[in-house]
Amino acid sequence: MENIFGYDPVEYDFSGKCLRIIDQTLLPLKESFVCIYNEEDLIDAIKTLKVRGAPAIGIAAAIGVAVVMDNYEAKDMISFQMEFQNVMKRVLKSRPTAVNLGNALQRLSGLLSESLSGNTTIPDLKKILLEEALKIKDEDIDANISMAHNALTLLRDGATILTYCNAGHLAVSRYGTALSPIYLAQQKGMRLKVYACETRPLLQGARLTTYELTKAGIDVTLVCDNMVASLMACGKIDAVVTGCDRIALNGDTANKIGTLTLSVCAKHYGIPHYVIGPETTIDKECEDGSGIVIEQRPSYEVTTMWYKQRLAPENLSVFNPAFDVTPSHLIEAIITENGIYRYPYNFK
């Protein structure tokens, strides 16, 4: 698949020896890239959603930690290893729900332990970490392409897709998860129409999904989140296609808050809900959705963030979870790079 955007949202800058990301908080009004050299900026970029999307967060964390360790002047092997573990623990706390973050850093940690020997030098370790981080990104690109091919077998030419949040080019290394079959369909000459939900309260659908689909020349229409049942009732939706931040072993799936609403409505109207995500999103330690930690976000995202004046009364309690969990029986299929899985799911 061609990289229709001409850039990757997360990449290693070889000339500047830094992690380079597109600042998603400024989209769609401004395309601005940020170079990250230290731990503080890496954690800030993840927490403030400059980089977002489960796969992209994992890749950014891996490359970012490799960059941080490359800049660390260690006295000996022990101090290098201790600093790596300390940095990894702090970065892991930046966002708790997306499993890719932990998977990527645990992979670096395991490789680092395996690489410690009497002949290995600190420069060797730094090179090993960076090469592994870049390998994680390359594997994600390959996975995105495979997911696109698998998912497209479920979508007919002329179909209308409802999607949520942003699970496209901006949320991964390249192409996307939920949006990857749409880009592949375009390259094959298929006609797919997309309805994109705003995705409140952070408006990832309005700001990011419509931005990248429009840029790619895809037929996309923006709708408010509370319009989905009406769309389905009118027979305008053929499939709901979303990404995922964590998949439990039984198929329960955490995704952006509001996904559960779409899935319930889709089941009521007999519309399939397809979840697309890489195998790295499956949490082998999580039996079901009750074990998924849901990140709680600050209240200002709901009350003031997008308004010239405060929307709600002062000192108001605000419930603002970043994700919800869709029970596996509502999901028609989970598509990964390895194939198409159907209910009942068993990823053990």
In SS3 terms, 298-339 reads as: CCHHHHCCCCCCCCCCCCCCCCCECEEEECHHHCCEEEECCE
User: What SS3 state is found at 36?
Assistant: strand
Domain carrying residue 165: 151-342
Indicate if 181 and 305 belong to the same structural domain.
yes
Indicate if 202 and 125 belong to the same structural domain.
no
* Stretch 235-255: mean pLDDT: 97
Indicate if 173 and 110 belong to the same structural domain.
no
* Stretch 139-166: mean pLDDT: 98
Answer whether residue 232 shows pLDDT above 80: yes
- 306 in any annotated domain: yes
Indicate if 243 and 320 belong to the same structural domain.
yes
* Stretch 209-225: mean pLDDT: 97
Q: What percent of the chain has pLDDT over 70?
A: 100
Range from 134-138, 224-228, 249-253, 303-307 carrying the lowest mean pLDDT: 303-307
> Which one, of 319, 289, 100, lies nearest residue 201 by Cα?
319
- For residue range 30-53, what is the model confidence (pLDDT) as tens digits? 999 999 999 999 999 999 999 999
Answer whether residue 260 shows pLDDT above 80: yes
Answer whether residue 119 shows pLDDT above 90: no
Domain count for the chain: 2
245 in active site: yes
Domain final residue pick, 125, 145, 165: 145
For residue 96, what pLDDT is reported?
A: 83
Indicate if 182 and 288 belong to the same structural domain.
yes
CA 129, 247, 90, 34 torsion: positive or negative?
positive
- 4 in any annotated domain: no
Indicate if 114 and 194 belong to the same structural domain.
no
For residue 97, what pLDDT is reported?
A: 82
- 121 in any annotated domain: yes
Indicate if 312 and 194 belong to the same structural domain.
yes
Catalytic residue among 8, 225, 245, 324: 245
Q: Residue 153: which pLDDT band, with cuts at 50, 70 and 90?
A: very high
- For residue range 322-347, what is the model confidence (pLDDT) as tens digits? 999 999 999 999 999 999 999 999 99
Indicate if 192 and 322 belong to the same structural domain.
yes
Q: What percent of the chain has pLDDT over 90?
A: 94
Answer whether residue 118 shows pLDDT above 80: no
Q: Which residue has the higher pLDDT, 211 or 98?
A: 211
Question: Please, are residues 225 and 258 in contact by the beta-carbon 8 Å criterion?
Answer: yes
- 199 in any annotated domain: yes
Tell me which H or E stretch contains 184.
helix 180-187
CATH classification at residue 138: 1.20.120.420
Domain final residue pick, 112, 145, 178: 145
- 348 in any annotated domain: no
Indicate if 68 and 96 belong to the same structural domain.
yes
Indicate if 203 and 320 belong to the same structural domain.
yes
- 347 in any annotated domain: no
- 338 in any annotated domain: yes
Q: How high does pLDDT run on average in the chain?
A: 96
Domain final residue pick, 145, 178, 206: 145
For residue 328, what pLDDT is reported?
A: 98
Cα distance from N-terminal residue to C-terminal residue, the chain: 31
Indicate if 317 and 205 belong to the same structural domain.
yes
- 90 in any annotated domain: yes
CATH classification at residue 271: 3.40.50.10470
Residue with tokens 């996975």: 143
For residue 116, what pLDDT is reported?
A: 81
- For residue range 85-101, what is the model confidence (pLDDT) as tens digits? 999 999 999 998 878 99
Indicate if 92 and 178 belong to the same structural domain.
no
Quick one: three-class SS letters along 199-213? CCCCCHHHHHHHHHH
